[in-house]
Amino acid sequence: MNGGLGTSMGCQGPKSCIEVRQHQTFLDLTVKQITHLNHVTGKNIPLVLMNSFNTEADTSNIVRKYDTMTIDSFLQNKYPRIYADSLLPMITDHEGQHHEWYPPGHGDVYQAFSDSGLLDRYLEEGKEWAFISNIDNLGATVDFTILAHAVEQNREFVMEVTDKTRADIKGGTLIQYEDAPLKLLEVAQVPKEHIHDFMSVKKFKVFNTNNLWVNLKALKSLFQKPDPFSHMDIICNQKIEKGHRIIQLETASGAAISLFTGTQAINVPRMRFLPVKSTSDLFVLQSDLFSLENGLFKMSKLRAFPNPPMVKLGPYMKDVSSYMKRFGGQTNIIDLDQLTISGDVTVGRKVVLKGTVIIVAAEGDVIDIPDGSILEDKVVTGSLRILDH
C-alpha cells in the first residue's frame, strides 16, 4: 500500500521515496527483499503497489529503474471531501482541485485491486495468495511459515498482530461479540468515554500490524455477493482543509477480517512491525541497533530486549532535513530504553545512549552533545555547549 505522502516528515512526494538508510528508500529496500526472495525460491513473485492519485505519477516514473523483478501497480479510488456543516461535497465539477479529493483509506485495496483486473489475472496465472502490508513497515517481509500455517489450517484471511506497548496504545485491535466474526476496532471508532479502556495495555494486549494474508480465490468469491465491502465499518475522519471543517469517510484494510469465513489472528514477533511514521522511528532504524541484509532489518543480538526503545524527538527534529542536521550519526542505542529530546538540541557522532535519557533545552537555550559522549540514565537541561564524556 503505497498511497501516502511524506508531508508529515517534511518531505515532498511519495513517502516510499524517503531515504531510510545507506541512501536507500522504502521502495529500494522492498525491491531488494523481493529480488532476494525470488533468487532463493527460483520464482518470479511480483511486487504490487497500490498508489493513490497523490503518488501515482511519481511512483510510475521511479519504478522504471528497477529491472530485476516484476512490478505491477493499480490506482486507489478517490472520493470528494464533504463539508462537515452542510454535508455537501467540496467539488464543484468532476475534475475538481487536488485538495477537494481524498483516497478513502487502505480498506479500498480489495475493490481497487479487483477493478484493476489484477485479481483475475493472477488467478489465471495460478497465484493463490496475496501478502498485503504498508510500504513504510520495514518489518513486513514475506514469511513462508505464516503462509504454510494459513494453507494447512484452510484459512482465507490471516491478520498479524503483535504485543501492545506504551508506544502502540492507539493501534487498532480485535474484538468479538459472542459467536460473531472477529472485528477490527480502530481508535477513531471508540467513544470518548472509553478511550482510556481502548488504550489500556492490560485490557487490549495486542494490536493490528496491518500485515495481512488473503486467499485470492476467497477474495474473488466475495465479489460474487452484492456489494460485499459495504459491510466494512466506516471511519469518520474529521479534518480542517482550507479553513473549513471537512469529513472523510474511510475504511481500514484489516476490517475485511469480518467478511471472510475462515479467519485468524496470529501473534507475531515485534520485528515484523517496524513502521516509520516519524523521524523518531527513522532514528531507531538508522542507529547501530539494526543492520541491513538483502533489504531486511535485523536487530543486534547484543540487545537484551526484543523490542526497540521508545524514542520521542521534539518539533526541532520533526522534518527529515532538520533531523539529519541535528544528529551526527552512528548513535549507539543498544542499551537504550527510552529517549526524549525537546528544544534546540544537537547530538554528535558516535554518542552512546543507555537506559532512560532525557535532553531538554528550554526556549532560548542550546544543548550540544559532543561526539563520543556517553549518557546513561541521565537528564540534561539548560544550555550546554560542552558535555563531559
Q: What is the DSSP secondary-structure string of 270-301? A: GGG--B--SHHHHHHHHSTTEEEETTEEEE-T
202 pLDDT band, cuts 50/70/90, is confident
Domain check: are 202 and 294 in the same one?
no
Give the torsion sign (CA, 344, 350, 351, 355). positive
- Among 235-244, 270-279, 380-389, the minimum mean pLDDT is found in 380-389
Sorting pLDDT into bands at 50, 70 and 90, what band is 228?
A: confident
- Measured over the CA atoms of residue 129, residue 277, residue 96 and residue 233, the dihedral's sign is positive
Is residue 64 in some structural domain?
no
Last residue of a domain, one of 255, 272, 289: 272
Beta-carbon-side half-sphere exposure of residue 187 (alpha carbons within 13 Å)? 13
What pLDDT, in 10s, does the model give residues 299-311? Answer: 999 999 888 999 9
Secondary structure element (H or E) that encloses residue 325, with its range: helix 320-326
Question: Which CB contacts under 8 angstroms, 24+ apart, belong to 227-235?
Answer: 228/259, 229/107, 229/110, 229/111, 229/256, 229/259, 231/258, 231/259, 232/107, 232/256, 232/258, 232/259, 233/183, 233/184, 233/186, 233/189, 233/258, 235/105, 235/186, 235/188, 235/189
Task: Check 127, 183, 277, 378 and give the catalytic one.
Answer: 277
Query: For residue 57, what is its C-alpha cell?
Result: 505519477
CATH of the domain at 181: 3.90.550.10
Q: Are residues 263 and 372 in the same domain?
A: no
* Structural domains counted in the chain: 2
Domain of 353, in residue numbers = 279-381
Grid cell at residue 306 = 526484543
Gap between the terminal Cα atoms of the chain: 45
Task: Express each pLDDT in 121-163 by its tens digit.
Answer: 999 999 999 999 999 999 999 999 999 999 999 999 999 999 9
Grid cell in block for residue 95: 475534475
In this structure, is the dihedral angle defined by the CA atoms of residues 68, 148, 261 and 270, taken in order, positive or negative?
negative
State percent of the chain over pLDDT 70.
97
Which residue shows C-alpha cell 498508489?
51
Q: Are residues 283 and 267 in the same domain?
A: no
Q: Check whether residue 88 and residue 193 sit in a common domain.
A: yes
Nearest to 123 by CA among 223, 257, 47, 219: 219
pLDDT at 46: 96
Residue 252 is assigned to a structural domain of this protein: yes
pLDDT at 334 over 60: yes
Q: Mind listing the pLDDT tens digit for each residue in 9-21?
A: 888 889 999 999 8
Mean pLDDT score, 321-336: 92
Q: How confident is the model at residue 382 (pLDDT cuts 50, 70, 90)?
A: confident
Q: Do residues 208 and 315 share a domain?
A: no
Q: Give 85's pLDDT tier (boundaries 50, 70, 90).
A: very high
Q: Average pLDDT of the chain?
A: 91
**211 and 91 in one domain?**
yes
Based on the domain organization, do 254 and 285 belong to the same domain?
no
| 38 domain residue, yes or no | no
Same domain, yes or no: 249 and 268 = yes
Q: Confidence class of residue 32 from pLDDT cuts 50, 70 and 90? A: very high
Question: What cell numbers appear for 283 in the block?
Answer: 532514528
**277 catalytic residue (yes or no):** yes
User: CA 186, CA 198: separation in Å to the nearest integer?
Assistant: 9
Q: What is the pLDDT of residue 389?
A: 45
In this structure, what CATH number is given to the domain that contains residue 356?
2.160.10.10
Last residue of a domain, one of 272, 305, 322: 272
- pLDDT, position 374: 95
Tell whether 245 and 283 lie within a shared domain.
no
Last residue of a domain, one of 222, 248, 272: 272
Average pLDDT in the 216-233 region?
90
The Cα 271–Cα 219 span in angstroms is 28
Residue 112 lies in a domain: no
The strand order across the sheet containing 82-83 reads 82-83, 244-250, 235-241
**What nine digits make up the cell of 49?**
503497489
Query: Is residue 118 a part of any domain in this protein?
Result: no
Instruction: Give just the sign of the alpha carbon dihedral 82, 275, 36, 264.
Output: negative
- CB distance 129 to 213 below 8 Å: yes
The reply to whether 22 falls in a domain is: no
pLDDT for 165:
84
Between CA 135 and CA 361 the distance in angstroms is 35
Residue 66 reports pLDDT greater than 60: yes
Q: Is residue 53 part of a domain?
A: no
Q: What is the pLDDT of residue 243?
A: 87
Residue 347's pLDDT band, with cuts at 50, 70 and 90, is very high
pLDDT for residue 252: 94
pTM of the model: 0.92
| % of residues, the chain, pLDDT over 90 | 77
186 and 324, same domain (yes or no)? no
92-96, 241-245, 254-258: least confidently modelled range: 92-96
Distance CA(248)–CA(256), nearest Å, equals 19
DSSP code at position 78: -
Residue 11, pLDDT score: 86
Question: Is residue 193 very low, low, confident or very high in pLDDT (cuts 50, 70, 90)?
Answer: very high
Confidence band of 94 (pLDDT split at 50, 70, 90): low
Nearest to residue 162, comparing CAs of 180, 146, 177? 146
pLDDT number for residue 305: 86
3-state secondary structure of 232: coil
Are both 212 and 301 inside the same structural domain? no
Q: Indicate whether 83 and 197 sit together in one domain.
A: yes
124 is a domain residue: no
Among the listed residues 153, 135, 269, the one whose alpha carbon sits nearest the alpha carbon of residue 210: 135
- Residue 260's CB: how many other CB atoms inside 10 A? 21
